[in-house]
Amino acid sequence: MAARFELVLATGMLCAALSSCAGYRSLPLPQQANLASGIAQLQHKLPAPENRVIDIDHPLDLASIGLLAVLNDPELRAEWGQMSVAQAQLVQASLLPNPTANLAYGVLLGGPGTTPSYAASLSQDIASLVTYHSRVNSAEAHVAEVNAEQLWQEWQVAQKARLLALDLYWGGQAIDAQRQELEVVSSAFDKVKRATAAGNLNLAALSPLAAAKAAAEQSLATQELDELKSWQELDGLLGLVSDVRFAIEVPQLPPMPSDIDHLVTGLPEQRPDLIALQLGYRSADEDVRGAILGQFPALTLGGSWSSDTTGVRSAGPTVTFDLPVFNRNQGKIATSKATRLLLHEQYQARLDSAIAGIRGLVAQGEQLRAALSAAREAAAGAQASARSARGAYAQANLDQRAWTDYETTALQRQLEVIALERSLGEVEITLTVELGIGLPRTRIVPPDSAEAF
């Protein structure tokens, strides 16, 4: 009866142990691309704490395009696996080692004994308990570090998408102006060519216009190719097929912040990349603590019970420990301290680079605003001169070549303004990211595939 009870108990314990084990589930690789064929198919609902929906039925502003890229960029979605790995490492660090059990049974084959022998022992590793809190603290800091790093990646994707959208908008304006210039030059070239063919003008009058037309055609082709590449890159960030196009709103960028010094002072609390480095340093510091505590000799405590073949039974505690003669964990201590020092220097270098970059962007913005003001004034003057030349040409008071020069000069001045508008917008977008302002403070990438990891 007792034997049956013991068998039932052992079977139940085995079943309970097996039921808590993880099971295998296959995860097949995808066989086709997962790209949206239109902007309406994109994820455009922001989770908490934003809790709003991006309006995709009207021209999109730069901020909305940046958020759409964060929500739909395929590479950002794939990075959820890094968070899953960090969380799995935290689970592993939080687990205590299992106790060790030993069982032995000896069959009596001969001699003065009268019964089989039995032995049982149960022991627990104590050294791992000493470093437990340091391991868990290090793993928790690493999880937070990965989260901050991925938030910084979201900011980088948003910045890249906004810069591409800015370039596409002003690039479209530049293409329109270039086409106007090409139309003016082509018209003048055709008229002079007809006059040359009729013998009214010599070939010397046609040569400059032919060169100007070729230059305008080459510039237009280059701009159109750049526009195509930018659209393809932006579609890739948004998770769209490469031929999707949508309207971009006139860029409305916020003015340069006036309290730059205050923002620079608070940079370590604002920028996710600096916060990630701080957390990485904290994790490394906990590793140093754990390595120092790891000098504690490997110690195992337990108890044993035994019965020999004569029926004598004994029980008592057991202690097993290392003698720290050759290895006192010096290697791990040295490695962890060197890693902490490396992260310390990397943080200082990143902070110095960030502050220098911000100061440089502020100086660039000031210079670009001054240049843009002068370019706008020059463009207005060139437009006025072109209108006057147009009237004089209509009254036959100005030859066609001179009128064409006035028109192309006005268009070139317009292109200069567009180029400066684009450059200033790029500086302002980059500065907002460098200062850690204007973007979500928490991650917004939906973890659709996180469970797969």
* Ramachandran class of 22: left when φ > 0, alpha when ψ lies in -120 to 50, beta otherwise: beta
200-209, 303-312, 391-400: which has the highest mean pLDDT?
Answer: 303-312
pLDDT above 90: residue 416: yes
pLDDT above 70: residue 8: no
Q: What does the mean pLDDT of the chain come to?
A: 87
Alpha carbons 4 and 7: distance in angstroms, whole number: 5
pLDDT above 50: residue 2: no
pLDDT above 90: residue 344: yes
* pLDDT tens string 212-270: 889 889 999 999 999 999 999 999 999 999 999 999 999 987 777 788 889 999 999 99
pLDDT above 90: residue 278: yes
For residue 19, the model assigns a pLDDT of 57
pLDDT above 90: residue 79: no
Phi, psi of 362, rounded to the nearest 5 degrees? -60, -45
* pLDDT tens string 430-440: 999 999 888 88
For residue 2, the tally of other CB atoms under 10 A from its CB is 6
pLDDT above 70: residue 166: yes
For residue 148, the model assigns a pLDDT of 93
**What domains can be seen in the chain, in order of their start residue?**
142-294+333-443 (1.20.1600.10)
Residues 6+ apart with CB under 8 A from 171: 223, 226, 227, 230, 422
For residue 368, the model assigns a pLDDT of 95
Q: How confident is the model at residue 329 (pLDDT cuts 50, 70, 90)?
A: confident
For residue 365, the model assigns a pLDDT of 92
Q: Which residue has the higher pLDDT, 143 or 199?
A: 143
Q: How confident is the model at residue 449 (pLDDT cuts 50, 70, 90)?
A: very low
Q: How confident is the model at residue 453 (pLDDT cuts 50, 70, 90)?
A: very low
For residue 189, the model assigns a pLDDT of 83
Residues 6+ apart with CB under 8 A from 411: 177, 178, 180, 181, 184
For residue 10, the model assigns a pLDDT of 53
Alpha carbons 9 and 13: distance in angstroms, whole number: 6
Q: How confident is the model at residue 322 (pLDDT cuts 50, 70, 90)?
A: confident
pLDDT above 50: residue 5: no
First to last CA, the chain: 48
* pLDDT tens string 286-306: 999 999 988 888 888 888 988
pLDDT above 70: residue 415: yes
For residue 13, the model assigns a pLDDT of 57
Residue 100, both tokens: 């060790």
Q: What is the mean pLDDT of residues 314-323?
A: 86
pLDDT above 70: residue 384: yes
Alpha carbons 73 and 419: distance in angstroms, whole number: 28
For residue 27, the model assigns a pLDDT of 79
User: Of 286, 303, 281, 343, which Cα lies nearest the Cα of 137?
Assistant: 286
pLDDT above 80: residue 96: yes
Share of the chain above pLDDT 90, in %: 51
pLDDT above 70: residue 48: yes
Q: Which residue has the higher pLDDT, 8 or 352?
A: 352
Judge contact between 168 and 250, C-beta under 8 A.
no
